[in-house]
Structure 1
Amino acid sequence: MRQLYASLFYQNKVVDIFSDRALISYLIDVEVALAEAQAELNIIPINASNTIQHVGLTALDKISFDDLAVATGLAGNVVIPFVKQFTALVKEVDEEASRYVHWGATSQDILDTACILQCRDALEIIKSILLTCYQTSLFQADQYRSQVMMGRTWLQQALPITLGHKFARWASAFKHNLDRIEEIEKRVFVAQLGGAVGSLASLGKDGTVVVQTFAQKLQLSPPVCTWHGERDRIVEIGSILALITGNLGKMARDWSLLMQTEISEVLEPSAQGRGGSSTMPHKRNPVAAASVLAAANLVPALMSSLYQSMIHEHERGLGGWHAEWLSLPEIFKLTAGALEQTFAVLKDMEVDVEHMHLNLERTNGLVMAEAVMMALAPSLGRLNAHHIVEKACQQAVAEGIHLKTIISQMDAVKAHFSDHQINEIFDPTSYLGNIQDQIDAVLQEAKEE
């Protein structure tokens, strides 16, 4: 991603986690942990481990990234040239210790484990932003729980809802995503150490205990079985991110539609230079929604490459693993960026109560037709009530008058309802169903957590 677009689509901390410099830092951490685990088990000399650890403290600033970039293209992955440079740095301090760098491991072990460490740190940031979005949505759900607005289906006015209910639904989606992350952490934050074909034959009988100690050093779970060729963990991480981004895209679609001039019920936060047009001074464009929707458009396409990359050949595959290096970081960065944009809108969304009221009345009461039918049904029967109200709606449209005016003049209605009762039936606040119960349930769930 070009720097010019970074602030529109990305989140800085997650971008840093997936930078070249950060990747090498994670690789160093993995190599050091491997040496420490093996020294603890008397597989390599403790002095060698100490030297490797000591060199690891400053190695990042001594690695030649230009040389790495060239050599990676020749080697097929970054670990091979990285290990050569790292070993050379250790050798400058202690030639004997340099013999034990990367002992028994294969390049995929180091890169897969580093990737899991990246994912763990990036997911922690995403969880944090998700939590703030969840808490903000809860606050807005409570604040606007009684603010009646038009509910829409198939892009048409349907029945009244409240803005608080829309926020409550969004809060519930954020809660689902937080739960999903928590549920997968133990399953996906797993170290990788299998050697050339997953047998760790290079470590003989010590393979299992080395894997366990190695994972412990990195605060990861040890794998029950090598997963070089089974990429479901990577795909599961990406899938959670895709679900998050999809939920955000739905929210952005909603608020961008509500920002349309003809509807104008909410607006994204205003700021100098935000949402303007190069030719139309009057424009107030939904720029945050554009960013979120772009991410929601891109992430599924990137996810398809992760799913396709699950098809590995035998013990270690060709090409599928490599595709992950491009797709997964991009999915993380886009998801975090979309979350940050969404939080900014949730926190400072501008609500136009007057336009919500105007839109409720835009159909001359037609949106209350179901309410009228259900009120009449106990006395007249549902089918007969439906026929009466349908006929009244047709007349209201043809004559351009309010549905309540026609309904209140019908003998079949006047026989059962007073003018006061008819007025109550046409009050949008009287036909909100169990919306308040739902909002209470969402708020209560948060309190119980």
Structure 2
Amino acid sequence: MKSHMIDSEVYKDLYGTDKIRSIFTDQSMVQKWIDFEKALAKIEAQYGVIPKEASDEIQRKGKIEHFNLQEICKDIVFTSHPLVPFIKQYQNLCEENYGEYIHYGATTQDVIDTAFILQLKEAYEVIVDQTEKFIEVLTISTRKYSDTIMAGRTHGQHALPITLGYKMACWLAEMKRNYTRLKEIEDRVFIGQFSGAAGTLASLGPDAMMLREALIKELDLNVPIITWHTNRDNIAELANTYSLIAGAIGKIANEIINLQRTELREIEEGFQDGKIGSSTMPHKRNPMVCEYIVGLSRLVRMQVPLIHDSLVQEHERDMGLWLVELEVMPEMSIYISKMLYDMTNIIENLRVYENQMRENIDITKGLILSEKLMFELSTFIGKQTAHEVVYKACMRSYENNTSLSQEIMLEDQVNKILSKDKVDEILNPMNYLGLCKQFTQNVLDSEEKYAICKN
């Protein structure tokens, strides 16, 4: 029986992909417990802490197919301990009493934390690759639409003309910053844990520090300078970064939803025959995938307070808060991966209606260029006076459903200065794109730090 939407046979592919889900299965988790115990035995044998024969037997029996996960689950409930049933089962698998050397000098949290970090690292590598792919696809679209003019909107209303490339460049710049953040935190987040009962490794004597370093490097993790049993800022930093990515992608999805509104219809997420928008309204072409992404974005961002709550722990171990991390971080990883996967496909297959964008600019009959007209007039009559004159003309245009050009020429302070042809030239949106082109190119050229992180 599956009771979580991530694993639902009906809805699971709306929440994640098989690739990212497989990283957080029970089999994957237990295999990483095994990997920890095998690596520990190998290093301890090298340092003479346990017999080499014991290490060899632990390596031989350390295969997931040898373990009974149902029995482990049952015994965890019986013992109320999250790892001892696994250790016992591993011990019983080993011959010649070599199972006595399993978990030598370690504590439960060493195994659970390190295995968890290994899972998160595996998922992180998928997410980094997906982020790179998304940036590549978004870069192509930004360049493609760098000259596609559209209405810029503030407070939901027409503001000034912009280009679609400029809008996408804003998205791209944010995603490049998020990629940089992803790479910058890698060394701090993916650290191993091996510190023993109270974090001092007292049980392993004078070679403990070297043994600890060798074990963590064997698992291809970074070595922390001190125990982090109750210092969870590395987990929180990963959650924070995923939340920023979720916010960026959720914003893009929400913008597409808004620009796909029937009244605007400037862009549309990819459509293919058979995609259904409604069970009762056959005409609907809804931005369904974007809506799923917005939902996942909320699920990711709302998890961050839970992770931050786990920063407040007691003494040298506080097991109750493990439950939060073990639940929340896999969910965040799965959702972020799915968001990146879907948004990459959306941008690749985005439908852009350039003619509609141009028509929408004209629905306010020149009002979108009121700022340009005001500044042109300010040369002759001053900025504040120009604002008042243009404001009056704009308000009449709204009320009378007339053009700004028509209304401004009724103003004596204007018609004595500017001809009708000059006003029409001023109100041409192609002549007032500001730094759209330059800003877009800045983002397209901003490869240096992104490339350094990528390499």
* TM-score, length of structure 1 as denominator length: 0.95
State the AA in 2 paired with 1:63. Answer: F
State the match for 2:42 in structure 1: 36
> What is the DSSP-based 3-state SS (H/G/I as helix, E as strand, rest coil) of the residue aligned with 2:153?
strand
Q: Is the CA contact 1:309–1:320 (under 8 Å) kept in the aligned structure 2? A: yes
How far apart, CA to CA, are the structure 2 residues paired with 1:444 and 1:362? 35
Q: Which residue of 1 aligns with 2:32?
A: 26
Structure 2 counterparts to residues 47-446 of structure 1, below 5 A: 47-56=53-62, 59-76=63-80, 78-89=82-93, 91=94, 94-446=95-447
Stretch of structure 1 that moved more, 410-419 or 263-272: 410-419
Inter-partner Cα distance in structure 1 for 2:188 and 2:127: 18
Q: Is the 8 A contact 1:266 1:350 kept in 2?
A: yes
Q: How much does 1:275 deviate?
A: 4.1
Shift of 1:233: 0.9
Query: Which ranges of 4 or more aligned residues in structure 1 deviate by more than 4 Å?
Result: none
Is 1:311–1:320's contact at 8 Å kept on the other side of the alignment? no
- Quick one: distance in 1 between partners of 2:151 and 2:413? 29
Q: Which whole-Å CA distance do the structure 1 matches of 2:75 and 2:273 have between them?
A: 46
Rounded Cα–Cα distance in structure 2 between residues aligned with 1:330 and 1:289:
19
What amino acid is aligned across from residue 225 of structure 1 in structure 2?
A: I
TM-score for the superposition, normalised by structure 2: 0.94
Aligned partners of 2:405 and 2:420 also within 8 Å: no
In structure 2, distance between residues paired with 1:441 and 1:77: 56
Q: Secondary structure at the match of 2:177?
A: helix
Distance in 2 (alpha carbons) for counterparts of 1:424 and 1:74: 82
- Compute the displacement of 1:302 (Å): 1.8
- Tell me, in whole angstroms, the C-alpha distance in 2 between the residues paired with 1:407 and 1:77: 79
Give the AA of the match of 1:115.
F
1:3 and 2:9 equivalent?
yes
Q: Once the 2 structures are TM-superposed, how far is the Cα of residue 447 of structure 1 from its aligned partner?
A: 6.7
Counterpart amino acid of residue 89 in structure 2: Q
Cα drift, residue 418 of structure 1: 3.8
Letter matched to residue 368 of structure 2: V
Aligned partner of 1:406: which letter?
E
Deviates more, 1:355-364 or 1:255-264: 355-364
Tell me how far apart the structure 1 counterparts of residues 416 and 124 of structure 2 sit (CA, whole Å): 63
CA distance in 2: counterparts of 1:50 and 1:442, whole angstroms: 55
Q: In structure 1, what residue type is equivalent to 2:142?
A: A
Q: CA contact under 8 A between 2:296 and 2:335: conserved in structure 1?
A: yes
User: Does structure 2 retain, via aligned residues, the 8 Å contact 1:274–1:287?
Assistant: no
Question: Do the aligned residues in 2 keep the contact of 1:135 with 1:171 (CA within 8 Å)?
Answer: no
What are the Cα deviations for residues 351-403 of structure 1, in whole angstroms up to 9, with x where unaligned?
Answer: 11122112111112111111111121122110011011001112212221111
Q: Is the deviation greater in 152-161 or in 381-390? A: 152-161
Q: Secondary structure at the match of 1:358?
A: helix
Q: Does the 8 Å contact 2:42/2:55 carry over to 1?
A: yes
**Cα root mean square deviation, aligned:** 1.6
Instruction: Output the CA distance in 2 between the equivalents of 1:431 and 1:3.
Output: 53
In the comparison of the two structures, how many residue pairs are matched?
444
